[in-house]
Structures are given as structure tokens and as C-alpha cells.
Structure 1
Amino acid sequence: MITFENISKVYGTKKQPITALDDVSLTVKKGTIFGVIGYSGAGKSTLVRIANLLERPSDGKVFIDDVDLTTLSKTKLRQKRNNIGMIFQSFNLLQTGTVYENIALPLKLTGIPKKEIKERVKKYINVVGLEDKLHAYPSQLSGGQKQRVAIARALAHEPSVLLCDEATSALDPDTTDSILNLLEQINNDFGITILLITHEMHVVQKICHEVAVMEQGKVIEQGSILNIFTEPKTETTKRFVHSLFNEQVPESILKDLKLDGKVITMSYVGDASGDPALALVSKKFDVYPSILSGRITQLKGEPYGRLVVHLKGSDEEVELSINYLKEKGILVKGYNNEVDINAS
């Protein structure tokens, strides 16, 4: 559906070039929600603007529905953009126009008949839940309501692709969740492919099927949301994942605990998060588990949890208990060590 093929973007002059994107290749599957996450300056916003050629790449190709946008004439590109909706952080609403006018005007400019415009405005204002705000002005709306209008405006073109550039960054946590729920609903109900740019791990955790992590203009890691959370490979990805799980245990406590057993990190994925495996460890083995920290959350509807646990007991009994936990589908690692514990 969306393919970036060896995309590079360089600003500045030959003497002082600034590389925003460096040979980026990504494929976003049809009907999925794909997240691109990175810290400020990673190149993610440049990438999403290249997706509809608001920015032209210095090198590489961009395909939407197997059409290379970089080869299209201005007229054909303009037509193709009608199939690509975009939502911005700053909403970009016409302040002097009502909600109806903000949604209807772009449709009018593309030559859609007046009757059909009315039908589309009514349909998509209902989708975003703002039927009672149709004649209100942006100044009379909250931030979340403004973003819903922007979403309705993008949907009114009935696109197959929706680009979201930090669409929730200006919103409070509760409003962010409501907008994310709306985007997930749109993906489910209309099958629209969504490419979502963010610097917030909570956003990709909540609705994305897949995620790519960017740093200094490059994609440094990508995969399913479960794989990225359970097996982060790069330090940047680990920082993003750890931002949702405060696992730090004071070193003074760890020092004493490690003398009598082992401190481990347990990752529960899917059904394993509801398994009482840890409780059973103390019954099956001569080991006494103590939870030092932890949290269970949802990854695209799948339960996922991480616990830091002290297993008190002899080396032999601890190793047996670790093997048992692994047999139950639990990922076990040493605390602050991303390498699996290879218990025998």
C-alpha cells in the first residue's frame, strides 16, 4: 500500500549538507496502522511529508497503491493526493469558517457536486461524533474537537491512506486516548491504511500493528508491536519501551538481594499474562518470589506485562524455577540485562 524505497532527503548546500533521511526503506501493508517513532530530529516528520510529496526526496521512490508518486505530473499528483488524507498536529482549520465549511470547502475545490458534499459532510461528521457542532467555529471548539474536525475533513475525500503527523501531541492524555480510539475505529470500519508519526510510545502501544524506530534519519529497528516490546534490539528502542515500564530498583536493595538468589525480569505476552506461573513457582520449587516492580498494559488489544522479581533460593532451585517459567511461555531475562537467561 505504501512503500518507501531507498529514500534520502538532504537540505542545505553541497558545502553544508544536512541529511534528514538516509536511505530509508519501509513498507506499510494495506489496512494496517503503522507507527513511526523517534525523538526530535529523527526524520520522522520529513518521512511522512514525503509520503504525499509535500516534500520531494533527494533520492528514492515513493509508492502508493503501486504508483510511483515521484514520476507523476503535477496534475496527476494532485489527483492522487485526493486519495491520501493527512492530519496535522496544529489542526490547520480555517478560523473564519464553520465546521461544515472546513469540511466542505476542500471538497468543493476538487469539483465534487454540492449534493454529494452535503452527504459526505453529514456522514463523516457523524463518524467523528460532532453532529451538534456543525455550525460552530474553531474558536468555540476544544483541542480534541478541532482534531476531530480535521479527521472528518480528511475522511471526506474518502482516501485509502491516512497520514498522521504527531496528531495527538497537542492534546491532553484523555483526549489523546479518545482520538486514538477514533483512528482505530476508522481503520476497522473503513479499512483505511494509517501511517502514524509520533514521539510517544503510548500512541504506538495502543493502536499500531507495526512500528519502525528512527534515529538520525535512519530506520534502526522495525517489526510487529509485540516483537518490538518484547525484544527491543537498539538502545533507542529500549529507552522507548522502558518509558512505559518503570523497572528501576535501588542498587542498595539489589546488592543485598543478589547475595541470596537472583533478580530477573519477566515479560508476559498474550495469554501468559493471566497465567499464575509465578504463584506456582513457590509451590513447585524451594524458591520464594518477591515482586519488586511491574506493570501490565495492552498492546493492540493483547495483554503485555513486565515484572522485576527476586527469586530467593539456592542456585539449583532458582534455575529450575526459571526453566519452568520459560516453559509457560514467559520471557525471562536478567535484570538490566537484555540477554536471555539460558537456564539448563
Structure 2
Amino acid sequence: MISLQNVSKTFEVGKKKVEALKDVSVEINKGEIFGVIGFSGAGKSTLIRCVNLLERPTSGKVIIDGTDILTLNKKDLQKVRQKIGMIFQGYNLLKTATVYQNIAIPLRLEGVPAAEIRERVKKYLEIVGLADKAKSYPGELSGGQRQRVAIARALAHEPEVLLSDEATSALDPTTTEQILELLLTINKELGITIFLITHELDVIQRICDRVAVMEQGRIVEQGKVVDVFTKPEHPRTKSFVRNKDVFHVPEAIKQQLEKSGKLVALTFLGESSKDPFLATIAKKFDILPSIIAGGIDQLKDQSVGNLLVHLKGTEPEIQKAISYLQAEEVLVEEVSNQ
């Protein structure tokens, strides 16, 4: 549905040229939630603003439904933009307008009939759970409620694509979870394609189907969330993703454990996270497994379990246990020499 092909963007700051995007290519399928993650300055905001040409690429193609919108005239481009809604970190609401007016005014400017405006405002306020706030002003609402108004405003244009520019980064964890649940509902029930950018791994894990990782204006890794999450390849991706370092085992303890066996990081996907693999290998092989640390992460469609385990025993028996786990599709990373 959306294809960014070899997109580059250069800004001129004084006499200096700054390359915000460098030959970026991304494909976003109809109906999916695609996320881009990166630290500040990676080029995420510039990239997402290229989709609706709020930022015009220096080079490359921006293809939506088979049309390179960079080739369109102003009138035709406006028609395409009407199919693309956008929500921002700062909400961008009119402070002196009511919730109803914040949603209705843009529709009125588009020439939508008054009766239809009333229907749309009512419909989308109900969808975002704010049907009773139509007469309120933004200053009377919480941050999460203001973001819901912004989402309703974007949905009122009945877009095919929703762009989310760090929409949850200013919210507390509970409110963030509520907004993410709302985005999942919008994607599932309205069939709207969502393209979001964030610096928060939890957002990617929670709702995205696929993800791209950005660093210094480039895409350094991309793929299905479960693949990128469990088998990161690029150093920048590894800095985001949970790995053995998150367990923070003191060096003295690690060295002591390594004297009688091996430390391994285990990753269990989906249903395998429920299987008693450690009890099984303790029975099948002459080893004693001990859990040092661990946790479970919930992705959009499945759970991922992470364990740091000490395998006590001889090297041959430990290797047999590791081979068994790998045959059962448990991801195993030996960390005893780290």
C-alpha cells in the first residue's frame, strides 16, 4: 500500500547540509501496523512526514496505492492526503475550541456537509470513548483524553492510513497501554493501516506486525517483530532489544557459576514458553538447570519468554542439553564466556 523507495532528505542549515534520510526503502502492507524505532535524531520523524509530503524528499519515490505522489499536482495530492490521517505527540488541538469543534472544523474546511459532520463527530468520539466530552475544552482533559480527541479528529476524515508520530511518548504507562489498545481496535475493526514511529520498544512489541530500526538516517534492520525481537543482528537493534545484559548478573557471581557449568540465555516463543523444558533436560541429561533471571514479554500475537539459566554439569552433558533445546526450537545463546 505504501512504498518508500530509496528516499533521501537533505536539509540546509545555514551553509551546512544535513542528511536526515539516506536511501531509505520501506514497504508497508495494507491493513498492517508497521513501526519504526530509533533514538532521537535517527530520522524517524522526517521519514513519517515524507509519507504525506509534509516533508518533500530530496530524492526517491513515495508510492501510495501504486501512484508516486511526488508526481502529483496540488489538487490531486490533496485528494491523497485526505486518505492519510496523522496524530502527533503534542496533540495539536485548538485550546479555545471544544472537543466537538476540534473535530468538526477541519471537516468543515474540507466542505463536508453539516449533517455528515455531526454524524462523524458523534461516531468517532464514541469509538475513542469520549462521547460525553463533546462540549469540553482541551484544558479540561487529561493527556490521554486529549490524545483520544486527536485520534478521533484524524479518524473523522475516514482515512485509509493513520500516521502516528510518537503519539504515546508524553503519556504515562497506563494511559499508553490504553492508547495502544485503541490503535489495535482501530486497525482491526476499521481496517486502517497504521504507520508509527517511536523510541519505545514496548510500543513496537505491543501492537506492531513488522518493524524497521533506524540509525543516522538509515534503516539498519527490518522484518517481523518476533524475528527482529528474538534474533537481532545489528548493534543498534541489540541496544533496544532485551538480551543477556538486561539480567545484570554481577561479575563475581557469573564467574562463580561458570566454574561448575555454563550460563545460557534461552528464548521461548509462543506455546513453547509453556513447556517444562528445564525439567525435561534435568531428567534426560546429567545436568542441573537453575534459573538465574527471566521474564515474559507480550508481542502483538504471541508471548516471548526470556531466561538466563545456569546449566551445572559436564561439558558433554551440557552440549547434549543445548542440542535438545535447539531441536525443540528454543533459541539458545551461550553467554558463559562473555
TM-score (norm 1): 0.96
Distance 2:262 2:198 in 1: 37
Q: Which residue matches 1:342?
A: none
Q: Is 1:308–1:335's contact at 8 Å kept on the other side of the alignment?
A: no
* Matched residue type, 1:84: I
Q: Which residue matches 1:191?
A: 191
Give the % identical residues: 56
Deviations 1:107-153 (A, max 9, x none): 11101111111111111000000011011000000000000000000
Distance of aligned partners of 1:170 and 1:312 in 2 relative to their CA distance in 1, 3 Å threshold = same
Q: Which residue matches 2:263?
A: 263
Q: Which residue matches 2:138?
A: 138
2:225 counterpart of 1:220: no
Distance 1:63 1:14 in 2: 31
Q: Is 1:201–1:243's contact at 8 Å kept on the other side of the alignment?
A: no
Q: Is 1:245–1:295's contact at 8 Å kept on the other side of the alignment?
A: no
Q: Which residue matches 1:294?
A: 294
* Matched residue type, 1:175: T
Deviations 1:74-112 (A, max 9, x none): 121112111000000000001111111011111111011
Q: Is 2:210–2:225's contact at 8 Å kept on the other side of the alignment?
A: yes
Q: Which residue matches 1:35?
A: 35
Q: Which residue matches 1:2?
A: 2
Secondary structure of the 2:41 match is coil
Q: Which residue matches 1:204?
A: 204
Q: Which residue matches 1:169?
A: 169
Q: Which runs of 5+ in 1 are unaligned?
A: 339-344
Deviations 1:304-326 (A, max 9, x none): 01111000001111111111111
Distance 2:332 2:46 in 1: 38
Distance 1:46 1:215 in 2: 13
Distance 1:322 1:191 in 2: 43
The count of aligned residue pairs is 338
Shift of 1:271: 1.0
Distance 1:230 1:86 in 2: 30
2:241 counterpart of 1:241: yes
Q: Which residue matches 1:100?
A: 100
* Matched residue type, 1:211: V
* Matched residue type, 1:258: E
Secondary structure of the 1:242 match is coil
Q: Is 2:86–2:164's contact at 8 Å kept on the other side of the alignment?
A: yes
* Matched residue type, 1:279: A
Shift of 1:245: 7.8
| Aligned-residue RMSD, C-alpha | 1.5
Q: Which runs of 5+ in 2 are unaligned?
A: none
Distance 2:64 2:247 in 1: 41
Shift of 1:250: 1.1
Distance 1:243 1:17 in 2: 37
TM-score (norm 2): 0.97
> Which moves more between the two structures, 259-268 or 240-249?
240-249
Distance of aligned partners of 1:245 and 1:51 in 2 relative to their CA distance in 1, 3 Å threshold = farther
Shift of 1:63: 1.2
Q: Is 2:281–2:287's contact at 8 Å kept on the other side of the alignment?
A: yes
Q: Which residue matches 2:67?
A: 67
